[in-house]
Structure 1
Amino acid sequence: MTSLSNEDRRPPRATMREVAALAGVSLKTVSRVVNREGGVSPDVVARVERAVSQLGYRHNLAASNLRRGNGRSAMVGALLQDVSNSFSSSLLRSLEDAGRDRDVAIVSSSLDEEPERERALVEGLVRRRVDGLLLMPATQRHDYLADDLRSGLPIVFVDRRPNGVDTDSVTVDNALGARMAVEHLLAQGHRRIAFLGDMPTIQTAQTRHDGYVATLRAAHIEPDASLSAVSLRSPEDAAAALNRLLDLPDPPTAIFAARNSLAIGAIRALHQRGLAGSVALVGFDDFPLADIVDPPLTVVKQNVAMIGSEVAKRLFARIDGDTSAPQHVVLTPELVIRGSGEIRPAS
C-alpha cells in the first residue's frame, strides 16, 4: 500500500464558498467583506469574520486582483544595500508601516553594493509583477530600467539619485552633511582631520568626501591625502585604517567617519588605544546606542522616518496613478551634538 506524504495528508484549505455557507450569506458578500469593500452591514461583516476565523480561511489576494483585472499584486519590492544596517532597516520599517495601511506586502533584499545582484533581483521582482519598486542602487547607471519605467512600473530611488533615467528620488543633502561635520570639527580648533569613507564609486560616499575636501579648502586648509582612507566596507576596515592613521608621525586629532558602520569601527579603535577622550569623532548617520558610548557620538543625522514617509508618499502616489513629472526630494540633515565631536585638540 502506498503511504501518503505529509503534504498529501494536509487538509484542504477553506474556500470562500464554505465561508459563505457557514455565515449564511452569498459569495459576493464574502468577497466584499474580505476585500474590505463597502455596502455590507456591520452585523453581516461580523458574521463573515467569525466564519473566516472559525474555518481558518485565508483570502487569495492575487486571484482576487486577477478577477478584478487591475493587474495589481499588492506587493512592493524594496532593494536596499544592507537590511541589517540601522539606516536601511529603519527605512524598511517606515515603508512596511505605510504598506500595512494599504494591505501591501513588502518584499525586501540586500544588494551589498553588487551591480549584478541588483539587476537580477530587479528582474525577478518585475517578473513577479510587483506594483512598485524602491531602489537604493548599486549600479552606476540605470538605463536598464528604462523599459520598465516606460511600461508604467513606479520606481522610487532612495539615498542616491538615478543616472541615465529620470524617476522619483528621495535623498539627503550629503555635501551639506559633510560640511556640517567638518566645520564643527574646525570650530573646535582641529586642523588635522581624517576622513573614513566607503567606496568612491558609491554616489553618497563620493559626495561626502567631496564635501570634506571642499570644506577644508574653504577654511584655507589644503587636504592631506594621507589622512583620507576610502573603500572601507566594514567596522573592521575602519578600525584598521584608523590605526594606520594614528601611527602616522603627525596623526589626526579628529575624524570624520562618513558612514555609521565606519564610525563604529573608529570608536572601537579609539577605545582600544585609550584615545576615546582625546581624539574627536563625528559620524554620518545615527545608530542605536550611539548616544551611550563613551563619549557619546556626535553625528550628522538623517531623518530616516521622514525619508521613509517621503518614499512611501511618492511610491504609492505613482501606484495610484500619479503621472506628474518626476520629483527629486532633497532633505536637510541635522548635526546632533553629544560629546565626541566637541573634544578639542591637545595643545
Structure 2
Amino acid sequence: MGAGRPPTMRDVAEHAGVSISTVSRVVNAEKYVDAATRERVEASVAALGFLRNESARTLRPGQRTATIALVVEDLTNPFSAELAHGVEEVAAAAGYVVLLLSTGRDALGDRDEVREKEIVGELLSRRVDGVLMIPGADDASGRYAALAERAPVVFVDRLPRGVKGDVVLLDNVGGSRRLTRRLLERGHRRIAYVGGDRGSGTGSKRYSGFRAALKAAGVPEHRELLHFAQHSSDEARLATQDLLALADPPTAIFCDNNRMTVGALLAVHRARADVVVAGFDTVELAEVLVDRVALVTYDPVDVGRQAAGLLLERLDGVDVAPRRITVPVELAEFGDRQQVHR
C-alpha cells in the first residue's frame, strides 16, 4: 500500500490472503463466507483502517457528488448559523449542496469527541467532495489528517496541531488585546476573565491577548478574577455571580465568547451591578441593552464565504501551499454611551 493513500479492497485482500470478491462480500455483509475467512478479513480491515466508501459504489470514477460538508460544534450558537449561511451562499452559487453536521457536547459540557469521531468516520466512508470543519485543538488521533487525505478540507476558527491545511481564522489575539486595552483606557484595573477552554487554540489566543494588554499597561492579573472551563451561558452566569460577590469585585469582565458574554450580562443585570461586560463575538440585540457592554465584532457570514471560497478553489484544482486567511475584527460599545466603532 502506497504511503499517504487510503487502503483499498485490494490491499485488504492481499493482507488477508483472499480474493477481492471475498473482501467485498465480507464488507457488504453478504452470505457464503465461512466464519474463519470472515474473521480474517475483518482483522485485516481493522489493521489497515479500511473504510467502505458508501457512495463511491454508485458513482463512476472521477464523478462528483456536488456535496460539501460543514462540521460545527454547536448548532444553537448564532455563530454556527451565520457561518453556515455564508458557506451555503457561496456553495449554492457554484452548484453544491451543503451537509450540516454538529459534534455537540458531552455530559460534562465538553466537545463530544465520540460524536466527532463518528462524524469523521462517516465523512471518510460516505463520499463528499470537500469538508469545512471547526476542529478540536489538536489531532492526537490523526482523524483530521486521515480526512484530509480523502478530500479537500478547510478548517475554520482554528487549525488543529499537527495538521497542515487551509484555514480561516479570526484575529483572536489582536481583538482581545484591543478590547482589554480599551477597558484599561477607561480606567479599569480589576478586570475579570470568564472563559471556556483555555487549552483550545481559540481560547488560548484570546487569553493571550488579554494578558498581553494587562502586561503592557503594568496591570497585574488577579487569580481570583480568572474563571475558565465554563461550557455554557448558565455556567458563565454562575461564575459571574461569584465574581460579583467578592469583597473587592471587578469593575469590568472580559468574556472570551458569546455564550460567556450572555451569561455574564444576565448576572450583572440581575445584580444591578456597576460593571462593564466586554466580550469576543457579536451578541444579538446588544444595541438595545441598558447595561454597558463592549464587544469584539466581525461578520461570521463573511467567515463562511471565505472558507467556502477556499474549498471551492481546491475542488477546482488549485494546488498551492496551505493558505491562511485572518479575518479582521472591530470594536463596538453599547449601553449608556453612544455606540462607537474603531
Q: TM-score, normalised by structure 2?
A: 0.76
Residues 145-194 of structure 1, C-alpha deviation per residue, up to 9 Å, x if partnerless? 3344334x100000001321210000011011111111111011000000
Which of 59, 62, 67 is residue 66 of structure 1 equivalent to? Answer: 59
CA contact 2:289–2:334 (8 Å) conserved in 1 = no
CA contact 1:281–1:341 (8 Å) conserved in 2 = no
CA contact 1:254–1:281 (8 Å) conserved in 2 = yes
1:1-347 to 2 correspondences below 5 Å:
66=59, 69-112=61-104, 113-141=111-139, 143-151=142-150, 153-275=151-273, 278-295=274-291, 297-339=293-335
Taking the aligned partners of 1:229 and 1:253, their CA distance within structure 2 comes to 15
Taking the aligned partners of 2:178 and 2:254, their CA distance within structure 1 comes to 10
SS of the aligned residue for 2:189 comes to: coil
- Structure 1 residue identity aligned to 2:129: D
Deviation at 1:252, TM superposition (A): 0.1
Deviation at 1:226, TM superposition (A): 0.8
Unaligned runs of 5+ in 1: 1-61, 343-347
Across the aligned residues of Structure 1 and Structure 2, the Cα RMSD in angstroms comes to: 2.1
Taking the aligned partners of 2:228 and 2:292, their CA distance within structure 1 comes to 24
Moved over 6 A (4+): none
Residues 32-68 of structure 1, C-alpha deviation per residue, up to 9 Å, x if partnerless? xxxxxxxxxxxxxxxxxxxxxxxxxxxxxx89x935x
Q: Does the C-alpha gap of structure 1 residues 291 and 256 become closer, same or farther in structure 2, counting only changes over 3 Å?
A: same
Deviation at 1:336, TM superposition (A): 1.2
Q: Which moved more, 1:104-113 or 1:313-322?
A: 104-113
Pairs aligned (count): 277
Taking the aligned partners of 2:304 and 2:164, their CA distance within structure 1 comes to 20
SS of the aligned residue for 2:287 comes to: coil
Taking the aligned partners of 1:289 and 1:233, their CA distance within structure 2 comes to 22
Taking the aligned partners of 1:206 and 1:340, their CA distance within structure 2 comes to 31
Taking the aligned partners of 1:145 and 1:333, their CA distance within structure 2 comes to 28
Taking the aligned partners of 2:152 and 2:193, their CA distance within structure 1 comes to 37
Identity %: 33
Taking the aligned partners of 1:95 and 1:284, their CA distance within structure 2 comes to 22
SS of the aligned residue for 1:179 comes to: helix
Q: Which residue of 1 aligns with 2:13?
A: none
Deviation at 1:341, TM superposition (A): 8.4
SS of the aligned residue for 2:320 comes to: coil
Deviation at 1:102, TM superposition (A): 2.3
Q: Does the C-alpha gap of structure 1 residues 242 and 125 become closer, same or farther in structure 2, counting only changes over 3 Å?
A: same
Taking the aligned partners of 1:184 and 1:195, their CA distance within structure 2 comes to 15
Residues 63-119 of structure 1, C-alpha deviation per residue, up to 9 Å, x if partnerless? 9x935x433111111111112101111001111111211231111122232223222
Taking the aligned partners of 2:202 and 2:79, their CA distance within structure 1 comes to 14
CA contact 2:87–2:301 (8 Å) conserved in 1 = no
SS of the aligned residue for 1:175 comes to: helix
CA contact 1:185–1:341 (8 Å) conserved in 2 = no
CA contact 1:280–1:341 (8 Å) conserved in 2 = no
Taking the aligned partners of 1:255 and 1:287, their CA distance within structure 2 comes to 15
Taking the aligned partners of 1:147 and 1:231, their CA distance within structure 2 comes to 29
CA contact 1:115–1:139 (8 Å) conserved in 2 = no
Unaligned runs of 5+ in 2: 1-54, 105-110
CA contact 2:287–2:335 (8 Å) conserved in 1 = no
Taking the aligned partners of 2:232 and 2:144, their CA distance within structure 1 comes to 30
